[in-house]
Amino acid sequence: MTDVKTSIDETVKANDVVLFMKGTKEMPQCGFSSRVAGVLNYMGVDYSDVNVLADEGIRQGIKDYSDWPTIPQLYVKGEFVGGCDIVTEMTLSGELDTLFEANGVTYDKDAAEKIRAANA
């Protein structure tokens, strides 16, 4: 288990934005993963995706790592942000924009505004 934790820790710290998800950003394998990947893709965020379905150790390990029971899980600059509901709320409130700006993560602000306008 230490190897899995080390691998997860290295992945989280080596990437500005990383999404642990079911499937890949090109082909999500669950609705919640699809929603978060869709937001990040639409906003043009450069992020790494980790398919937890490809490795049972990672699938359980990420839950232990974050002490969060569900997938997907979004990390920005090494910090756990949350899962689908939290990312959705942060997107709609503008908090995700603020988080990206504070951490120097490039994203399309116009796309973020369009998401908010479509959900107003």
Known binding-site residue numbers: 30
**Which residues are annotated as part of the binding site for [2Fe-2S] cluster?**
30
Write the DSSP string, 74-114.
EEETTEEEE-HHHHHHHHHHTHHHHHHHHTT----HHHHHH
Task: Identify the bridge partners of residue 85 per DSSP, sorted by sequence position.
Answer: none
C-beta of residue 34 within 8 angstroms of C-beta of residue 5:
no
Which residue type occupies 1?
Answer: M
State whether the Cα torsion 94-19-110-85 is positive or negative: negative
Give the distance from CA 94 to its chain's centroid: 16
